[in-house]
Amino acid sequence: MDAPVKYAKSPDGVHLAYRVFGDGPRDIVLVPGTLSHAEMSWERAAGKHLVDRLNAFARVIVFDKRGQGLSDRNVAVEQTIEERIIDIKAVMDTVGSESATIYGWSEGGPAALVFAATYPQRVSALVLYATFASLKDPPWSISRDTWFGYCRSWEEHWGEGILLELNAPSVWVNEAYRRETGSWERACASPGSIGELMRINYDIDARHVLPVIQAPTLVMHRGGDSLVPSTCGRYLAEHIAGARYVEMVGTDHSITEPDTQDFVADQIEEFITGQRQAREIDRVLATVMFTDIVESTRRASEIGDSQWRHVLNDWYATVRKELSAFRGREIDTAGDGMLATFDGPARAIKCACSIRDRVRSLGLQVRTGLHTGECELVGDNVVGIAVHIGARVASLAQPDEVMVSSTVKDLVAGAGLKFADRGAHSLKGVPDEWRLFAVQS
């Protein structure tokens, strides 16, 4: 990720922050959705993972829209489609990209569509994810009152991770992830600017350009998208000549899971190169542990940001010490949560209980979830359904509770551990019902 932030200049004098990752044989320009921040967006886990995957076969160019992130903020809130596509061209000109795959997602989709129609010689391929040609007209046809209601809610709760409520409801319950997203929101834009931009977007209509697009086009959309109906993706594919449509499983509008990022990257690679490189993936049986601080937002507001940072430092130091003692491996952190893996479920349970007991001296309570299953090792990361199950189990734990799946309970039979039955639960996005158990001290 050693890609310095640089600046392009649009014809009307606006400075546009951009970064170039890698030096692959072809270019991909990422046209951002609602928010962008040339540094933070691509250092967050989801953004970094996507860039890493795309760098395997392409040079990746990212930029901040005018008025957002590290680009000039002192610009008119109103952004026409013409300005947006001129900005894309300015960035491509600056980095010497004569032709590129244009990848637009969500709110960035209409600009990608119009750019492809206006500058066909600059677009080798068009990739669209979870996007639309029009909000107010078919097939979405969302009412102005409903859309403007969303805008008011975003303004009122900006900086609190509010985008997750519609964009990624599966992680909305994760307090640590909400805090991290709130920080990203504040860094990307102000409440007033984002509200006005979203209101302006209501009147954008790119349907008329669809028959003009000549570039090979890949359209991806989740069947149960929580914000943009999948009918919008199918509409695009039906009205762009020769477009390929791939419907994905899931309900989140945003992509937060590494395995879904991998699926998207695989689709893009195969579409623009004609082949999909085999990735080295190791499959192992592992126990995943998710743990995070209870009511961290309330606690942080009570003691202030400066003192809260000290508390977090102590929290992570304590967790890492216990991971070392019980031979766990830290995988990822988000806000005040941590994902770790173990090669033995009994040690994972003992580590979770030890963490719970030791952080009490910091005045903290934690909730922890454990599940054992087959995981894919992709670099230093772990992905797969077992990881999702572990996260869902953690979300159902009570303060100071170590919750485990029935798989974990069965695997530690004979280890002298005791459990309280917490009943059968449906885990969001996971098939079947799962019986969960709380570890008894």
pLDDT tens digit sequence for 139-197:
999 999 999 999 999 999 999 999 998 898 888 777 777 888 999 999 999 999 999 88
Q: Which fold has domain 6-273?
A: Rossmann fold (3.40.50)
The CA-based dihedral angle spanning residues 25, 31, 36, 40, taken in that order and rounded to the nearest 10 degrees: -20
pLDDT tens digit sequence for 245-282:
999 988 899 988 777 888 999 999 999 998 766 555 57
- Indicate the average pLDDT of the chain: 91
Over the chain (441 residues), what is each successive 10-residue block's mean pLDDT?
Answer: 89 96 96 94 86 94 96 81 94 98 96 95 97 94 94 94 89 79 93 90 92 96 94 97 94 85 93 76 84 88 87 92 93 85 93 95 94 83 87 93 94 89 86 91 73
At 45 the pLDDT is 78
At 183 the pLDDT is 92
At 169 the pLDDT is 86
Let me know if the fold of 6-273 is the same as that of 282-440.
no
Domain boundaries, the chain: 6-273, 282-440
pTM for the predicted model, two decimal places: 0.71
Q: What is the CATH number of domain 282-440?
A: 3.30.70.1230
Rounded Cα–Cα distance for residues 160 and 186 (Å): 9
